[in-house]
Amino acid sequence: MSDTVTIYEVGPRDGLQNEAQNIATDIKLSLIARLKLSGLKHIEATSFVSPKWVPQMADHNEIMEALAGDVDIAYPALVPNVKGMEAALSHDVKTVAIFTAASESFTQKNINCSIDESVERFAAIAEMAQTQNVKMRGYVSCVAGCPYEGEVSVDKVVEVSKALYDMGCYEISLGDTIGVGTPNQVKDIINALKTAVPIEHIALHCHDTYGQALANIYAGLDAGVRVIDSAIAGLGGCPYAKGASGNVATEDVAYMLRGLGMDTGVDLERLIETAWFISDALGRKPIGHVANALQPEYKTKET
């Protein structure tokens, strides 16, 4: 597997949005700066959602103002609706992300509408993105299972993903939101989807609830996926998916890819240091394995 893989970092947004404690804006900006120094080129920075629903993202304006002018890195922002898109455009955001699911029940819980209604809502955002020359990424949650419905149809995953792709999403990120997927299942989903969406436009977003994330990513790579979502230190979870643990850790993904001889362009040592930085700020150890196994020098001296 001598190839190039893009790691799409979601820690500052997806990783931190579910934290119970308040996280200072300067900590978030320092996290983003450290992630940039590690060599990551796609760092999802924030979301333009109501602070009432996601209080950890209440400082989205301050975050994007601080990042303005940095054209070397993509700093996508999540937008749930037209109002959020308008706010993102006011900060000259170049990439936005929209989100739905392959499960009706999850979509109702997450964004209070049906799957079809969610896609209809995004049509206006897609038009704005096209007019303003903004790239749009689409998330499809619960592709391998739903906390409310259980099994999810592969046909539904393909249907929803194709609708987002046809709408103008340059990339479709398949989310195993509760981490129940297994390698053969992931491979089957991707093989089915790539008949409708070109493989170069498919990404994989795994949670490690059942310890299957790296195995599932390997299966995705074997099926041709070359974009992997992850969160530094294994941050994250989902407020609308009971039992969902964090995203697969960026440093774990980078370590595995290095072992496979695949180029990511990232510095593993810097990722480990960054994992400890944000974990220290949160008052706990990193959730991922590699950061604990290969602690940075300053951390080793402390312990």
Cα–Cα distance measured from residue 57 to residue 98, given in angstroms and rounded to the nearest whole number: 16
Cα–Cα distance measured from residue 143 to residue 158, given in angstroms and rounded to the nearest whole number: 9
Q: How far apart are the first and last CA of the chain?
A: 37
- Asked whether 197 and 172 are in contact (CB, 8 A), the reply is yes
- Positive or negative: CA dihedral 48, 134, 31, 295: positive
- Positive or negative: CA dihedral 261, 264, 269, 273: negative
The question of whether 238 is a catalytic residue gets the answer yes
- Of 146, 169, 206, 238, the active-site residue reads 238
Please count the other Cβ atoms lying within 10 Å of the Cβ belonging to residue 170.
Answer: 13
CA 40 to chain centre: 13
Active site residues: 238
